Amino acid sequence: MSIRTVAIFGGAFDPVHRDHITLAHLCISLKLCDEVWFIPSPNRWDKTLFASAEHRLAMLHLVTNKVPHIKVSDVEILMGEYRGSYVFLRELQKLHPDTHFRLLVGADTYSTIPHWRDPLHFYGTEFNGHLLLSEFELIVFNREGVPMPDVNLHEANGYAPLFCVGEKQGFTGRFSSSEIRRELFGESKKPEGLAPEVYRYIIKHKLYRDL
């Protein structure tokens, strides 16, 4: 039996937008993975979340329901305390030993990985990002105004393989959740980056109104 490759797409998805979905489809079409798993984060020490985990999960389900090879999981939310990506990926690998995981991150995030750490062991320079880079392959996607990583330098550092998804692969990236939140109630029309069903959900549940 062949081992499946899954791209883990973590983040707040506050809210999910069209670039998220486009990127997932593109990674599958480029054969960088067999499946993409959207895994929204729980409450975090380093990031302000504006919608609850329940709402963020519901919006993800609206745009991925019955879409082949794309799944939504609440596994990190159910883990309880936020432990960071390395601890989470290690736990996920234990749960799915027959699966090969790759982490999907933006180019702006890539440069910060060496400084990642477990919030429960937040002392001095107790970083674990280098372990993540060594043990897990990455798919890095283009973010406007941010250079893509140097693949040769990445490999020279002894890290696991890295794959880039940028303009050459057909992805530029136009939307951000923070910008969409600002647009939502500044105009009467739906922000371009939102799927109609997500927009209707936001209006129905009065999300992001008090920002």
Domain boundaries, given as residue ranges, for the chain: 4-174
Q: Round to whole Å and give the CA distance between 150 and 164.
A: 10
pLDDT at 2: 73
pLDDT of residue 47 exceeding 90? no
Mean pLDDT rounded to a whole number for the chain: 92
Between strands 70-72 and 35-40, the pairing is parallel
Report whether 133 contacts 159 (CB < 8 A): yes
Helix or strand (DSSP H, E) at 40: strand 35-40
pLDDT of residue 87 exceeding 80? yes
Report whether 185 contacts 208 (CB < 8 A): yes
Q: Round to whole Å and give the CA distance between 23 and 7.
A: 11
pLDDT of residue 43 exceeding 90? no
What DSSP line would sit under 86-111, residue for residue?
A: HHHHHHHHHH-TTEEEEEEEEHHHHT
| pLDDT tens-digit readout, 91-143 | 999 999 999 999 999 999 999 999 998 877 766 678 999 999 999 999 999 99
pLDDT at 13: 97
pLDDT of residue 81 exceeding 80? no
φ and ψ at residue 115, rounded to 5 degrees? -100, 10
Segment 187-205 mean pLDDT: 91
pLDDT tier, 44 (very low <50, low <70, confident <90, very high otherwise): confident
pLDDT at 188: 64
Segment 26-30 mean pLDDT: 97
pLDDT at 190: 87
Q: Round to whole Å and give the CA distance between 31 and 65.
A: 21
Higher local confidence (pLDDT), 45 or 166: 166
pLDDT at 151: 96
pLDDT at 117: 86
Under CATH, domain 4-174 is a member of which superfamily?
HUPs (3.40.50.620)
Report whether 47 contacts 142 (CB < 8 A): no
